[in-house]
Amino acid sequence: MAQPLLIVNSLLALLGCVLAFCRKDTRACYCALFLLISSYTLMFVFTMQADRYYYPLLPVYYLMGAYAFWKVLETVWRFARPLLMLPPREYKASGPRRSSLSIHIAVKGTMGLLCAAVLLMPVLPVSNFNLLASRIIGAPYHRHYADYDDAANYMSRHMQQGDVVITIAPAVTVLYYVGHVEDFFSIDRALFLIEQDGRLVETATGAHPLLNQEDFETVLAMHNRVWLVTDNGGYQGGVTRNGRFIFPPPDFRLVYEGYGSGVYFRSADG
């Protein structure tokens, strides 16, 4: 989500929570409490470090934003409705004052356009929104994630029996695309590690974690042909931050680079 939209949606969700408590709307209060308690739990108990951990809360997050948006529209309408009334002389003295049909249509149309804008703004441009939507209308699709599939295709054409794959990217991702992964750089991933047969492994893939530069150099010394897979982004930045790891090693060469991935290779045979 773009930063301005994220700010607007967050402000609306917060306003929705405030309105729910102020209006003592039982159902809205339940949703607000669910959102607030869950958000504080993620931020202060589990130390949320990636936006994907918040995805399960997005339905309630947007629901509270929609609640606030609707209540704001109701307030504006209650304020504007008396001003849009036709003069009472156009009706019988005993008849109620009411808005004209044209004004009623204009107001409803404006509200409809505002609601449509809220729904459509995150979608635009379509090529940046959703692969399914792009395929339905035949529009090009911009990939938001690293092209590990292309990197894996290159590796599969050149890999040999006994080659070792080390990844900076998530081990489960490389396992899916490449087919196997032996080691991965473990930065703040203690929750994903278990001990198995006296050896630390990653829970989902069984890959061995590299906790420091010494671990990395030990693995490199044990194997002749080694592949390094990286995201050329945040994961690589975390590995090299504060000189924790030296990447890439001087004896590796870049053999493939996509718009969101990179592959380095070293062979004792040259």
Over residues 56-68, the pLDDT tens digits come to 888 899 899 989 9
Residues 105-164: tens digit of each pLDDT = 777 787 788 777 777 776 666 666 667 777 787 777 666 566 888 899 999 999 999 999
Task: Identify whether the C-beta of residue 168 lies closer than 8 Å to the C-beta of residue 236.
Answer: yes
Strands 253-257 and 193-196 come out as unpaired
Alpha-carbon span 240 to 262, nearest angstrom: 15
pLDDT at site 144: 59
Residues 28-76: tens digit of each pLDDT = 999 999 999 998 888 887 765 667 778 888 889 989 998 998 898 888 8
Residues 235-268: tens digit of each pLDDT = 888 888 888 898 888 889 999 998 888 999 998 7
Residue type, 135: R
Question: For 126, what's the count of Cα atoms within 13 Å in the CB-facing half-sphere?
Answer: 9
Alpha-carbon span 255 to 267, nearest angstrom: 12
Alpha-carbon span 92 to 122, nearest angstrom: 48
Neighbours of 202 (CB within 10 A): 22
**Model confidence at 184: pLDDT above 90:** yes
Task: Identify whether the C-beta of residue 19 lies closer than 8 Å to the C-beta of residue 67.
Answer: yes
Residue 194 φ/ψ, nearest 5 degrees: -135, 165
pLDDT at site 94: 45
User: 185 - beta bridge partners?
Assistant: 210
pLDDT at site 223: 92
pLDDT at site 163: 94
pLDDT at site 91: 45
Residues 68-119: tens digit of each pLDDT = 988 988 888 787 777 666 555 544 444 555 556 677 777 778 778 877 777 7
pLDDT at site 141: 65
pLDDT at site 136: 80
Strands 199-202 and 208-210 come out as unpaired
**Model confidence at 1: pLDDT above 80:** no
**Model confidence at 165: pLDDT above 90:** yes
Q: Is 232 left (phi over 0), alpha (psi -120 to 50) or beta?
A: left
- Nearest CA to 266 out of 252, 254, 255 is that of 252
